[in-house]
Each structure stands twice: as structure tokens, then as C-alpha cells.
Amino acid sequence: MSIVRKALGWVIGTFFEPAGFALKCIGLAVFLSQPDWSRFAFFIVTTLVLIPSLNMANLHVSGFRSLRELYERIRKDVGGVWARNTALSNQDLLKYFDFLQLNSPRRARSPNTEEALFFLYRSPPRGLPYRCYFNMMGASFIETPGPIKSLAELPPGKRFLVYHELGHANFAGNEVWSHSRLSAVMWCITAVVLVVIMKEFGYAHAIVTALALIIAIANSSRIARNNLAEKIADYQAYRLLFRESPKDALAVGEALIEAWSDELKANPGAAFTIKPRIETMQALLAASEKLQRGENPIDPVNVHPVVRFPHEYILGLVIGFLCFGSVRNEAIVPLSFVFGAIIIFVHVFGGLIVARARIYERGIIETVKPDEVES
């Protein structure tokens, strides 16, 4: 019975993931409007195979780029000595920091290491003091100014910065950063499918699809993705710090708002990236004060995908409604075969990406030796 529940939960969770939701609605509308085996196969291939495959490939590409960037940075570095340590176990990462990728079937197991996260540092320090190189295929890396023996020994401000980077490295951080780019691709596929499968591609279809494409392309810009990723990482870091010490969390939040405000005055052009973080932190502080007064706070940043990407669900449902009973039967089977070919290509391409990423991962681990605080 538990296997059935897990399978049903996976199917429902896969369907309601924001990535490709409109395409899933098309598949569901095609099947429900005239149920038969060919339409059911189209729905299954689209919802449970094609979209998860594209999503997996997207996450693998993001991890590949991240590892390549770090590997090239270390390889070309002159005059620095790099070291690494593992201050957090995989169990702690899963329990406290939402590293759900450790339980995800989409996480390819690495032959190079069992560890899901390494802290790196360079002597002498150079570049960004804290930076995340996330990777769903194996080990992620967080660069810090110096060795971290225990997070509990760090002062609250530095602990917040580490928690923030962990918010980029966990499953939600990976999904948020990668989703918008994938969404733009999915809506392009959706537009092509609509043109092929509809008996009549009318103005309503064109308007909804064009609106979705505009939103998806705008959201896929680096600034938009960075803003959302930073907001959610700040939220997760503040939440963890508040659980440990409300007093420290409030003090760090106020200090960050002051620092960001000063940075904004010195560089008004950075308003697109700094202002949303200030607003998020102000909302977090207000929610904290409500909680301390005994009121029920509402999280100012809800990480649930329905809240993060409402347009995906709204426009997807509209597309599904427009497709209901209005598709060409003769297009369903050929389109299923096309999707099958795409799935095969994506898995072959994904395998090549994973193999190449493994080389970078192994190069980083072999080049950056464990330091004296390695447990």
C-alpha cells in the first residue's frame, strides 16, 4: 500500500511541478476529451517522461556549468593554495538544510565522492567571500574566506551568509535558479505543439501563448532569476537563524538592511538586485516581531511553486481548457513518436553532460586537498 501511495504521490507531484505545466494540461485535455489508449499514451509520455527528462537535463546542465566554472577558476589560479573540508554530514544537510536532492531519483550518484557538499577556501582569500557552486549530480561546493570547523562556532552574521549559500545549494535553490530558463523552452515547445495539434489555432491560443512566452523570457533573464534566488536563499537563511536565536536573527536582519541601504545609496544602478532583498528582509523582520507578540505571522516569502510561478498554473489551465475537444486525432500518434525521439536525445545528451561533469568534479576534489579540520 505504501508503494502505491508513493507512486501516486510522485505522479501528482510531477504533474503539479511548474515546469511544463501547460504541456501537461494539453496532455490531460487530450485524454479527457476523448479517452482511448493512444491519447492515454500521449498524456503519459508528455507528463511523466518528456517533461521530467527535460527538467533533469536542465538541472544537469546547470550543475555542469557550475563545476566547470569552479574547476577553471582553480586551475588557472596563480599564487593561491586551496583546501576543502566537510563541516556538515549528508544527514545534517538533509535534516536541517533541505538537501532533498539526496533523496531524489533525479540525483545521479557520483563515483568520485559520497559527500553532498564541500566547503572550499583559498589562502590568501580572493574574490567573493561566500559563493555557491551547486550541483545536482553529486557534490556541491561553497567557497568561504577560511576554514569552517563548525557552523555553531561562527558569529551570527557569518552563519547567516553560510546559510544563505546553503539555500542556493539545496534542492529548492537548484530548482529556482534553473526553472525560469527551462520554462522559456517549455513554452516554445507548447507553442509548436498547439500549432500542430489544434484543429484551429485561433486568436485566443495565440494571445495566451504569446503572453506566456513574454513572461517566461522576462523571468529567464539573469536579473530576474537572481532576484528570486536571492530572496528565497535569504528567507531560508533567516528562518534557520531565527530558529537558533530570534535575537541574533533580528540583529543580523537589521544590520543587513542598513548595509544594503548604504550600498544602494552608493550604487543606485543596483536597485534591481538590492531593493528586493531589502523588502524581503523588512517583511521577515515584521513577521518575526508579530511572532514575538504572539500573533500568527504569514511568511513573506512562500517557497511553494504555486506562489513562485503563478502564471505557469493560470496560463496552463487556460491552455488546457482551450484544447479540450479541439485537437486533431491524426496528430496525436506522430507527436508521441516525436516526443519519444526527443526523450532519447535528451537522455543521451544528459549522459554526456554527466560524464563531463564527473571529470570536473574529480579534478576539483583531487586538486583541492582536505585541510587539517577534515573529520
DSSP assignment of 290-349 equals HHHTT-----SS---HHHH-HHHHHHHHHHHHHHTT-B-HHHHHHHHHHHHHHHHHHHHH
Question: Would you say residue 144 lies in a domain?
Answer: yes
Q: How many helices (H) and strands (E) in the chain? A: 14, 5
Identify the pLDDT of residue 157. Answer: 93
Mean pLDDT of 310-332: 84
- Tens of pLDDT along 240-282? 999 899 899 999 999 999 999 998 888 888 778 888 899 889 9
Q: Residue 110 — very low, low, confident or very high, per pLDDT cuts 50/70/90? A: confident
Identify the pLDDT of residue 109. Answer: 67
What values do phi and psi take at 141, rounded to 5? Answer: -135, 140
Count of domains for the chain: 1
Question: Would you say residue 196 lies in a domain?
Answer: yes
Residues in the chain, overall count: 375
Amino acid letter for position 147: P
What values do phi and psi take at 94, rounded to 5? Answer: -75, -40
Domain holding 40, by residue range, is 2-370
Closest CA to 345 of 49, 41, 105, 43: 49
Question: Would you say residue 375 lies in a domain?
Answer: no
Q: Residue 373 — very low, low, confident or very high, per pLDDT cuts 50/70/90? A: very low
| Torsion region of 173: left, alpha or beta (phi above 0 gives left; psi -120 to 50 gives alpha) | alpha
For 355, the enclosing helix (H) or strand (E) is helix 329-367
Percent of the chain's residues with pLDDT above 90: 21
| Torsion region of 264: left, alpha or beta (phi above 0 gives left; psi -120 to 50 gives alpha) | alpha
pTM of the model: 0.85
Q: Which residues contact 299 (CB under 8 A, 6 or more apart)?
A: 235, 287
